[in-house]
Amino acid sequence: MKIALAQNNYHIGNFESNISKIIKGIKQSEKEGVDIVVFSELAISGYPPRDFLEFKDFVEQCLSAVNTIAEYCTNTAAVVGLPTFNPNEKGKSLYNSAAFLANGKIMSIINKTLLPNYDVFDEYRYFEPNTVFNIVEYKGVKLAITICEDLWNVQDNPLYNVIPMDELISQNPDVIINIAASPFNYHQTKVRKEILKKNASQYNLPLFYVNHVGAQTELLFDGGSLVMNSKGEIADELKYFEEDFKIFDLDEVNNSPPTNYNASERIEIADIHDALVMGIRNYFQKLGFTKAILGLSGGIDSALTAALAAEALGNENVYNVLLPSRYSSCHSVDDSIQLAKNLNMPNEIINIEEAFNSFEHLLKPYFKNLPTDVSEENLQSRTRGVILMALSNKFGYILLNTSNKSEAAVGYGTLYGDMNGGLSVIGDVYKTQAYELARYINREKEIIPENIITKPPSAELRHNQKDSDSLPDYDILDEILYQYIEKRKGPKEITAMGFDPALVARILKLVNTNEYKRHQTPPMLRVSNKAFGMGRRMPIVAKYLG
């Protein structure tokens, strides 16, 4: 039996595009004599459709689409993910389903059993869990069709009381097929392969796995669909961060060692880079925009954002605006101009001094002779924000936010100023990772000027200002933040690692008391396993560690 894996970049709610990609995969499979072609979880709707699922019309369009697709499955069968209605009066109104299409119609519907309800996942909000387990038989081959999380309950600390494959194995399947929507983070690829390997070897079955690829707002899907033999050895895998299509012979996968597959170790910083580039490109494409604007300050964050955007959108489509004030150093302007030249990006210099002076003059009688403080510093940032948003409106650009995760965590940013934007490119990238990314971008030649990478970071909102005036060294800050945000460790646990108790208390207080700022930020491209945004839900007015 020949089985094809079709790894596609879907667009949520874009039924015309999604149907077209699926039918194209079926036609290609039929042309090459494929028996079954497999598409990913909720392929017809795109993943995650979220509250679109509350609209009956949306689900009905998915069902209409699958019937249209089934008409093309005359010689080649297909496994396609979509939402379906729950016919029972009790329970949630929908199932997360896989349709098995053959002979021009829907032959079987398989429903997802394990519904993740953690981090970015919220499937139990919409779907009823499956309780009926049946294999699908086609051309004499018994298929155990599962959906994403259905294979993940084999870890040491299982989240669920049922293991779908334990229910299906008694029916003597010949192969496991898993359709998935597994979002990227820089640890996920390794974990995912370990889970799949455990399933293949535990049930002594070959495994065919299809994942989404592409970005859906902040969620990034890396692809990496793969095939394993019954020993849990990878026979082959599809591309990462790109659409791909491959055909496999089931007998060859099951009976032969994977001699043609050369496993290459994933490089974490390279994956983060590729994920961010894909995320920017897809965000613009799927919204119908082509051009970006950003404020280029001469610092590492805006330089990194500009370089990533130029790769994603084309250098001619990234408009860089330098907005110096009385506190801006000459090298910040020079470095920014050099970066723009290196990447051949359009750029302008708009000095904010006149506007800043006007605001100072306007507000002077109302500031009541109070000493200069952060109010005037933030006024500069907000002046820049006004100018950038005006240009964005006038020319139809999307403003890219350039704040990093370290700054977002502790509130080191100005609301309605440098926190403006339609998309936060590096909001899930710690400052120390930003330097790694810059070095990676410069791996073959200098794109980001060396001086931007090596000079002490500064917001340049007052004379001789340095980030270190307000924050500990980023090596220390980022490790404390990582332990608190990603690892969910409390102050006692972090202090026990050797960090100063007063510093830990201060940093954690900053994180919690600045939640109100993060609720007003643009979507952040997610590259970690705990990003700010839809996967981290914290109350704003809480007192814990505040």
DSSP string for residues in 80-92 = EEEEEE--SSSS-
Give dist(CA 216, CA 9) in Å, integer.
9
Say yes or no to pLDDT of 471 above 90. Answer: no
Say yes or no to pLDDT of 462 above 70. Answer: no
Say yes or no to pLDDT of 538 above 80. Answer: yes
The token pair that represents 435 in the structure block: 């330097």
CA atoms within 13 A on the CB side of 497: 14
Q: Give the least confident one: 90-94, 206-210, 222-226, 469-473.
A: 469-473
**Any idea which residue has 């800043």 for tokens?**
356
Q: What is the pLDDT of residues 480-523, one digit of tens each?
A: 999 999 999 999 999 999 999 999 999 999 999 999 999 999 99
| pLDDT band at residue 464 using 50, 70 and 90 as cut-offs | low
Give dist(CA 207, CA 250) in Å, integer.
10
| pLDDT band at residue 202 using 50, 70 and 90 as cut-offs | very high
Output the pLDDT for position 67.
98
Catalytic positions, written as ranges: 41, 112, 148
pTM: 0.95
Q: What is the pLDDT of residues 277-290, one digit of tens each?
A: 999 999 999 999 99
Give dist(CA 518, CA 37) in Å, integer.
42
The token pair that represents 39 in the structure block: 């598409």
Q: Give the least confident one: 310-319, 410-419, 428-437, 449-458.
A: 449-458
Q: What is the pLDDT of residues 357-392, one digit of tens each?
A: 999 999 999 999 999 999 998 999 999 999 999 999
Say yes or no to pLDDT of 461 above 70. Answer: no
Phi, psi at 98, each rounded to 5°: -120, 125
Question: Which of 138, 131, 87, 88 shows the shortest CA–CA distance to 110?
Answer: 131
The answer to whether residues 120 and 219 touch, using CB atoms and an 8 Å cutoff, is yes
| Domains by residue range for the chain, with CATH | 2-266 (3.60.110.10), 271-468 (3.40.50.620)
| pLDDT band at residue 156 using 50, 70 and 90 as cut-offs | confident
Output the pLDDT for position 259.
59
